[in-house]
Amino acid sequence: MALTGKQQRLHRRSTEAQQYRRLYRDKRWCGPHGIRQQTLVRDLYTCQRCDSLLVTGDRHHPRAAVVNHIKPHKGDESLFFDLENTEAVCKSCHDTLIQKEEARGYTIGSDINGRPVDKNHPWNAR
């Protein structure tokens, strides 16, 4: 029997990630005055990575509003519900640049001399 799209996405998630998905349904996060809404208002519905205006209502739009945790929370509620640990970004930035950075463990980017800006970049380990 084939899995539905939602079942396939859940199957790919780690057991750890499946356990903290409940936090995204918590009223402190998604309520009308929750952290998610506070972040979007604070950041003026503007992507903090590419400066594009964010779209609400269509979560599949490339500029859909996503609230990103700057430091990955991995289920830590103090990080999850920390307004200072959030930023408004577009779906495109979140699904490409930010997820690549999280997988690599360092921020992508360089200074004017071409040197990586993140101290955790392998280049800086030399």
Would you list the domain boundaries of the chain?
Answer: 14-107
- For 67-123, write each residue's pLDDT tens digit: 999 988 989 999 999 999 999 999 999 998 777 777 777 777 778 888 877 788 888
Q: What's the rounded Cα separation, in Å, for the pair 62 and 52? A: 10
Average pLDDT on 6-28 reads: 72
Which residues partner with 53 through β-bridges?
46
Token couple for 20 = 């903290």
Is the pTM of the predicted complex or chain greater than 0.85? no
Tell which residue, 33, 9, 32, has the closest CA to residue 21.
9
* Cβ neighbour number for residue 64 with a 10 Å cutoff: 18
